[in-house]
Amino acid sequence: MKKFYFLAFIALFSFALNAQSIVYSDGFEPSDFAYVDGADLVGVNNWQVFNAAYIAKSINNIGNGADASDWYGEISTGGFTQVQKVFGLVAGQTYEFKLDVKRTNGNDAESQIQVFELGTNTTLITESNPAMTNDWAEKLVTFTANASVNHGFRLRQTGTSFIQFDNMEITCTSCPPLSVNDNDAFEFSAYPNPVKDVLKFKVQEPIVSAKAFDILGKEVLSIQQPRESINVSSLSKGLYVLKLEAENGAQVTRKIIKE
């Protein structure tokens, strides 16, 4: 089963084996996100769909996804439409965006992946080969972020064939080689993850502080004497490390993503 995962990094934690950090990975598995067979993607896991006349949905079809998986996304009406995910990036860092795609019938089929700097609506890069076949193939672009702002990662359908897409992955290829692993000094669970506004957690120890760090290790949120939740609505979309400290000095860390 394909898994949703991402690595965040902060100073003073253990060195990783390479200088890459996965910002986001999505194989459409319902165990990772709330995907339902045949359901519209609009609003699910923050997917955006441009052009309401066409339908983008999640599909469960055993063995027919990329890498013979069971789940994938599909633009199921011929025509022109686009789907997008949004994430905050760090200026000066280099990123790789890739996505597996295929067409589902014999009609003309073209699609491209693109990255936009939102706010300025600047197109940073567009994948150069729009051609598609009936077999799964990877589309990939590499770019450097100009500003620490939200970026749109988009699949653009430019032909008339139905298309399918799977294994979306965004990786920072230049990020510092520091990583943090989940640390279970005491029992701790945090949900929902990804989170939009309020992150709830369950612990068996009295907590004296909750702190969040961005992917460069900067402390961006600090709450003293939290109860059973913290409000993260002030954070930009992206990856963070949450650290809780108990009264006895024990600490736990979790990787979270802010939608």
Q: What is the pLDDT of residue 160?
A: 74
Q: What is the pTM of this model?
A: 0.68
Q: Which CATH code, of 3.10.129.10, 3.40.50.720, 2.60.40.1930, 3.40.50.360, is assigned to 183-258?
A: 2.60.40.1930
Q: How far apart are CA 214 and CA 74, in angstroms?
A: 33
DSSP, res 53: T
Q: Which residue has the tokens 């339902």?
A: 36
Q: Minimal CA–CA distance to 20: which of 91, 124, 127, 94?
A: 94
Q: What is the pLDDT of residue 184?
A: 56
Q: How far apart are CA 188 and CA 60, in angstroms?
A: 32
Distances (CA, A) of 140 to 24, 53, 56: 15, 27, 21
Q: Which CATH code, of 3.60.21.70, 3.40.47.10, 3.20.20.140, 2.60.120.260, is assigned to 21-172?
A: 2.60.120.260
Q: What is the pLDDT of residue 176?
A: 61
Per domain, the residue ranges of the chain are 21-172, 183-258
Q: How far apart are CA 191 and CA 201, in angstroms?
A: 6
Q: How far apart are CA 45 and CA 4, in angstroms?
A: 12
> Mean pLDDT in runs of 10 for the chain (259 residues)?
34 37 81 82 84 80 93 81 87 94 80 93 93 92 92 87 91 66 62 84 83 82 88 85 84 80
Q: What is the pLDDT of residue 14?
A: 30
